[in-house]
Amino acid sequence: MNGTSKMMDFLEEPAPGVGTYEDFNTIDWVREKSRDRDRHREIMSKSKDSVWALLHSISDAFSGWLLMLCIGLMAGSLAGLIDISSHWMTDLKEGVCLVGFWFNQEQCCWKSEGIKFDKPTECPEWKSWSQLITGHETEDALSYVLNYFIYVLWALLFAFLAVSLVRVFAPYACGSGIPEIKTILSGFIIRGYLGKWTLLIKTVTLVLAVSSGLSLGKEGPLLHVACCCGNILCHLFTKYRKNEAKRREVLSAAAAAGVSVAFGAPIGGVLFSLEEVSYYFPLKTLWRSFFAALIAAFTLRSINPFGNSRLVLFYVEFHAPWHLLELVPFILLGIFGGLWGAFFIRANIAWCRKRKTTKLGKYPVLEVLLVTAITAILAFPNDYTRISTGELISELFNDCGLLDSSKLCDYVNVFNSTKGDVLPDRPAGKGVYVAMWQLALALILKLVITVFTFGMKVPSGLFIPSMAVGAIVGRMLGVAVEQLAYYHHDWPIFSEWCSLGADCITPGLYAMVGAAACLGGVTRMTVSLVVVMFELTGGLEYIVPLMAAAMTSKWVADAIGREGIYDAHIRLNGYPYLEAKEEFTHKTLAMDVMRPRRSDPTLTILTQDSMTVEDVETVINETTYSGYPVVVSRESQRLVGFVLRRDLIISIDSALKKQDGIVSTSIIYFTDHCPPLPPTSQPALKLRSILDLSPFTVTDQTPMEIVVDIFRKLGLRQCLVTHNGRLLGIITKKDVLKHIAQMANQDPESILFN
């Protein structure tokens, strides 16, 4: 009995590590939420005892907001650093500033005296590499070849550094990170994915990858960077460090902050987190996401990375209203966006699968260098692909003014006077036609090369390349409609609203609608996409065209294939992600999915009071399951509870080391009270504290659609199946995913992770 009393004292406090999870495991949302409620109740009950306890309860309530403030500040600062660095390094490929090498081309010419009106970014202080090497100011064939060669060389150097750093220091820093973050937010654990090294390497390599000129964006990776900030800062607060479910609420808010700084769209960021990324999004998380997104956007605005007092490079304001008849070309852009989205997903997934299953995947450095070389060689001759994709989108969104000197604004001025600031529709000049040809070539390059770029072993976002494709098509369509309206203003469709000398068509608006349509086709975003786009443009009156294009694009893309790009990559990688949007319509029962099946060996169980430490260790060593049902006895099979493998191992190891008298022949009790032991027998080990006494159970006749719903809505990792109160089997999240894959005629073994 003396041993039993020692044992009781020992297990009042669980051993360190009990209640934690191993890598590539799913968290138990129900257990985590229950533990947090218990912790909160304890703090509240103690708060009335003393002033110190009251202060502790106030600090506990305030810690969530303090954490959001830190995440917002950190995400905004890193986004500003990435923007400034990538802008400078992109310009470094073409030349250097003599006043200070750390200035990009635009900053270099801000205070210059020798700026030409038609070339505002060219000044004596900025020298191209050919001018520095040869000393000649004039551009000849040799200068062009020299600049071309150095441009490709810089691109290859940046890409090589990016892929090498990712490969050596942080393999998780590649890609956009959104598929993995969606999986982590659904309750899966990928250790190191949101760690310190991943944050550091992703920040550095993102700058290098964007500067290399590859067809990728920094918006998706910025979300990953913000989530890394959230995860690292969680370790400063016990409440979030020790509870995986609470930590996922913080990561949802961090994702909102990431999109907020990527697009300068705080409300769009919150909606993106809610619509696209988060699995569990309570009202409290909505408020905190809003606060984190606000702080992040404010921080970035304070840094002012682009020098235009805006949060993004392609902020634009339109003034001309749109006409109802313009909905037709807007819907056509939506159809194109849907078709492009569906084509891109199929082509990219096919290429990524080929990379996974062939020798191609063994040479990531070579693949990156090859794609970079092809991109740089094809991009340099074309003015619209040589500049960064952000600058290209900015130019395409731009509404031409009188002082614009770009080729896209090379119109023939046939009117002497203008009404205020509004320029009437004019006939296109030679520059516009040249720009159309160059944009058509840029479109072909972007369409093809993005398929091969997304998924390589460098940080790569998809938002910007998708928007660029849509913006090019939109601008070309906008110019075509504008010229049609100018030359045929007497046609019935134009005569009522577009008279000669009026400003009817805004090609930049078409570019914006096209960008939204293509981004919607690839990601299947709707609400958050429209909000992000109107926050970008500051134009509330263009919500209807954006909504029409986004909705059309989603319908068209969904008709061809149901999955967005992130869901497709989740399935390709075999992550255990239970999609909440899909309906389960098959008429199967729990008994059809549970294990063991009829041909399988019997279910591995533990009994509540008849197994020794040695028996339990044998069960653990002979099986790889992550948990075991506990029953009254092997004969009755009446369920008592469920115990996790990790908790069992930690508790037994701890007891063998720290508790006197516990040996391999000691009986393990999962009951409330141990029976009196003879004085000569070994002390018993009581493990009631690690037993889950309320495991979720269903009967064998429960329809699978209800079981799938339970798994989705409660975030279960397993569910026990009973018949007349007797334990029959178990259904895990992996079994549910395999069953869904089987019902959809997919390979059930594609769910790789354990």
Locate 227 and state its tokens. Answer: 């989530």
Residue 321: asked if its preceding bond is cis (omega within 30°), the reply is no
Flag residues of the chain having pLDDT under 50: 1-12, 418, 420, 753-754
Give the closest residue to 302 by CA, choosing from 83, 155, 518, 93: 83
Whole-model pTM? Answer: 0.90
Q: Output the pLDDT for position 5.
A: 42
Helix (H) or strand (E) holding 606: strand 606-607
pLDDT digits (tens, 9 = 90+) for 109-132: 877 776 665 566 678 888 888 888
Strand order in the sheet with 667-669: 611-612, 667-669, 685-686
Q: Output the pLDDT for position 307.
A: 75
Q: What are phi and psi of 703, to 5 degrees?
A: -60, 145
Asked whether the beta carbons of 655 and 10 are under 8 A apart, the reply is: yes
pLDDT digits (tens, 9 = 90+) for 647-668: 888 888 888 888 777 888 888 8
Locate 67 and state its tokens. Answer: 């954490």
Asked whether the beta carbons of 138 and 144 are under 8 A apart, the reply is: no
Q: Output the pLDDT for position 2.
A: 42
* Residues with Cβ within 8 Å of residue 308, at least 6 apart in sequence: 315
Asked whether the beta carbons of 650 and 17 are under 8 A apart, the reply is: yes
Asked whether the beta carbons of 179 and 573 are under 8 A apart, the reply is: yes
Q: Output the pLDDT for position 636.
A: 85
Locate 614 and state its tokens. Answer: 């040695």
Torsion from C-alpha of 595, 598, 599, 601, nearest 10 degrees: 60
Q: Output the pLDDT for position 9.
A: 40
Q: How many CB atoms lie within 10 A of CB 401?
A: 9
Q: Which residues pair with 720 in a beta bridge?
A: 697, 730
Determine the Cα–Cα distance for residues 246 and 251; give it in Å rounded to an integer. Answer: 9
Instruction: Name the pairing type of β-strands 697-699 and 718-723.
Output: parallel
Q: Output the pLDDT for position 290.
A: 95
Q: Output the pLDDT for position 306.
A: 77
Q: Output the pLDDT for position 8.
A: 40
Domain 590-744 matching CATH 3.20.20.140: the answer reads no
DSSP string computed for 309-356: SSSSTT-----SPP-GGGHHHHHHHHHHHHHHHHHHHHHHHHHHHHHH
Determine the Cα–Cα distance for residues 473 and 336; give it in Å rounded to an integer. Answer: 9
Q: Output the pLDDT for position 292.
A: 95
Instruction: Name the pairing type of β-strands 685-686 and 667-669.
Output: parallel
Same fold for the domain at 327-414+422-567 and the one at 590-744?
no
The fold of 74-303 is Clc chloride channel (1.10.3080)
Q: What are phi and psi of 652, to 5 degrees?
A: -70, -45
The fold of 327-414+422-567 is Clc chloride channel (1.10.3080)
N residues, the chain: 754
Domain assignments of the chain as residue spans, ordered by start: 74-303, 327-414+422-567, 590-744
Q: Output the pLDDT for position 1.
A: 38
DSSP string computed for 122-189: --TTEEEHHHHHH---S--HHHHHHHHHHHHHHHHHHHHHHHHHHHHH-GGGSB-SHHHHHHHHTTB-
Asked whether the beta carbons of 521 and 553 are under 8 A apart, the reply is: yes
Asked whether the beta carbons of 646 and 21 are under 8 A apart, the reply is: yes
